[in-house]
Structure 1
């Protein structure tokens, strides 16, 4: 096999691959055998038709076509490895030359134009020390979490006063267009200030007491008159305020297994400290990635970037033709960051010589299946049918490379060593750790899309 490479751009290469006749011949023989299983030739059993007769019966062009379909992916993959080209998209293949008959000594020649990861050098990790911003814990953090717990045990108490923001009211609504009622509802419970119903409702309700009513104009958000302006009449049936329990020992006993409020506060502080360690690990991860990307200028493959921007805009609820300039800028910035991180982590995985096992990938996909409440085996089979297993392999490799890279450097906080062994684990535990907390990555997003599709299909068939 002869390979020549022409770099069209820093992120695009054109490979010209020429296959010697003896390398292509096994593919021709395999194609003849497969075709022989499908045709009937008098005097020969199926599958035992000589190759020359197969060529005569179906034509050498049909045989060569089958052989090319299987040969090109193999030789293309070999060429990528030989020339150390990391593709980031599917190639554009063009067959340039092909033997026309069994005696033709013309070599198979094809080109593959592919967007590739550009060349760049990662910094040496040996002796690298990274300072990490400290995750501070304050009394306010404890009070905020205690207040959230207190909210869970709040009760609603009727009040004899005008309604105000935060109150819960029971209301009747009647929407009218040109004096005719088009939608009415009674006995609706609503929290003033939540903004979960009609525009203008919050402002209309504030200051009303039980038994009082008013009207306001709003745009209907559902039904056959959706989007139309209407006069909405609202009547308040009752007003209730949220009453919070006293922060004392009785509350601690009701809300937890502790006997005193001080004990409950101590437990809350311990939980926050545990969370803070996780935040510290996240800060260390971000600082590590920022450090190895420092000074790098990595061009993004244009076609890949354009496709990802379209996907990003769709996730934002719009498309490239309707998106505003601000939306396009936001999508482009997000994609630039995602692509840079992916390329750097791919290179880091290679630098750290990580290996991805089948169990690594299956564990990764099983974790996503669990989040969606799906059978892991069914989900993994769906991923394989959708051709997305490669993305999962890449993402697991990135995660393992990131962990290995972080274990190779030192982290400090305020000049003191930061121990992240609880989060980074060891080389032996790497496979398990690699599949944790990957909901935001591209591979998981692709897998999650399959889960959504399967769930939707199940609902339609229900």
Structure 2
């Protein structure tokens, strides 16, 4: 195999890849053996016709595309290594020649990572991030614990108020006709949660268990169901039950019931310790991000569109994973918010460009400073992962693909590079 750089214009590289005829012929034979069962040739059982017969019937190049599809992934990595280029997208290919004399000759065009001059990255000045934890924050966390441990009790003859829970049956009608998805039974609705259509919950305030009423509301113009968007509707509602939240007293008994501590003072001290630990980590992360952003601001880069689009793909994939934990998916989110996938991508474009630029700059700093990952650092990281996932080290290693290992090493290198930037920064 021979690789030749033809030209480079901006971030696009054109190259020529030549595979000798023997290697190409071997690939054609593999393609024949893999696909010969698809061809029906008179006088031969299916899959038994010789290659030459199939080529006579369907043309000499009948197996070429399959052969190239099998061969290219094998020779392309060797080619980009030989050419010393770093592709960021799939190449566009054009078959220039297939002959006994020259074998397979492919012209390829691919977008590569941009070349740029790294700006100043040492001695970056950043402000120290405050990591103080206030008493109000500790009180708020304890209140959250109270709410998580609250009891919800039915109360007779109580008028509904904000934060009460109404257990209701309801059915919605538009122009006198019941509409799909507008009916529910024994639904628990917290008044003031803004879970339902604007105006719905407010009309339940002051009502009691056993009462029936009609709630008049108008669906928002951007509502995901087009047949209801902007339409006035009527909900027939029956209040089955009224419930209130009973919060436990914040005392020593509360500490004993909800934690491993015997006193409220001990619980409060533990809450503070954890809050301070989180604050330190958050402040450190913010400072590291600020340093990277300042280094990136010092460097001019023409960011390839393909890298930005790939980053947006990754961001939307991560968003979809997060939604799945809530029982939703990306398509449902789009329906609920009335947005298109194009609008969602555009909303994330600026952040994607910032992340791509930062990653390119960190990579350049790592190269300039000869940042490498030692075997000891890599194994230490694997030990941390094994502990995190409660796996034996050998089982973890056997489950990792080569690409996974490279990703892990890449993350370590990024971390070490940012450590270097932090060590040289002026933090005031």
Q: Secondary structure of 2:5's partner?
A: strand
Unaligned stretches of 5+ in structure 1? Answer: 40-52, 417-462
> Do the aligned partners of residues 35 and 229 (structure 1) sit closer, same or farther apart at CA in structure 2, a change above 3 Å counting?
closer
Q: Which residue of 2 aligns with 1:246?
A: 249
In 1: Cα distance, 2:31 partner to 2:214 partner: 78
The within-5 A match list for 1:28-427 is 28=24, 30-31=26-27, 34=30, 72-99=72-99, 101=100, 104=101, 106=102, 108-122=104-118, 132-157=128-153, 158=155, 160-177=157-174, 185-218=184-217, 229-306=232-309, 317=333, 323=340, 327=344, 329-347=346-364, 350=367, 351-354=370-373, 390=403, 392=404, 395-411=407-423
In 2: Cα distance, 1:95 partner to 1:185 partner: 62
In 2: Cα distance, 1:34 partner to 1:176 partner: 65
What TM-score do the two structures reach when normalised by structure 2?
0.69
In 2: Cα distance, 1:281 partner to 1:116 partner: 33
In 2: Cα distance, 1:68 partner to 1:214 partner: 71
Give the CA RMSD over aligned residues. 4.7
> Do the aligned partners of residues 63 and 413 (structure 1) sit closer, same or farther apart at CA in structure 2, a change above 3 Å counting?
closer
Q: Which residue of 2 aligns with 1:438?
A: none
Post-superposition shift, 1:31? Answer: 4.1
- Please tell me whether the aligned partners of residues 124 and 426 of structure 2 are also in contact (alpha carbons under 8 angstroms): no
In 1: Cα distance, 2:426 partner to 2:124 partner: 16
In 2: Cα distance, 1:413 partner to 1:308 partner: 28
> Do the aligned partners of residues 90 and 324 (structure 1) sit closer, same or farther apart at CA in structure 2, a change above 3 Å counting?
closer
In 2: Cα distance, 1:171 partner to 1:32 partner: 70
What TM-score do the two structures reach when normalised by structure 1?
0.64
Q: Which residue of 2 aligns with 1:6?
A: 7
Post-superposition shift, 1:113? Answer: 0.5
Greater relative CO, 1 or 2 (CA 8 Å, sep 6+): 2
Post-superposition shift, 1:29? Answer: 6.3
In 2: Cα distance, 1:310 partner to 1:406 partner: 25
Post-superposition shift, 1:261? Answer: 1.4
Q: Secondary structure of 1:194's partner?
A: coil
Q: More deviation in 108-117 or 126-135?
A: 126-135
In 1: Cα distance, 2:350 partner to 2:188 partner: 42
Post-superposition shift, 1:363? Answer: 6.6
Q: Which residue of 2 aligns with 1:27?
A: 23
- Number of equivalent positions: 375
In 2: Cα distance, 1:65 partner to 1:235 partner: 67
- Please tell me whether the aligned partners of residues 117 and 300 of structure 2 are also in contact (alpha carbons under 8 angstroms): no
- Please tell me whether the aligned partners of residues 346 and 397 of structure 1 are also in contact (alpha carbons under 8 angstroms): no
The within-5 A match list for 1:425-436 is none
Q: Secondary structure of 2:159's partner?
A: coil
- Please tell me whether the aligned partners of residues 122 and 424 of structure 2 are also in contact (alpha carbons under 8 angstroms): no
Residues 66-113 of structure 1 show CA distances to partners (whole Å, capped at 9, x for unaligned) of 7755654455433422332110011011121332x3xx3x46432210
Post-superposition shift, 1:37? Answer: 7.4
> Do the aligned partners of residues 136 and 289 (structure 1) sit closer, same or farther apart at CA in structure 2, a change above 3 Å counting?
same
Post-superposition shift, 1:190? Answer: 1.9
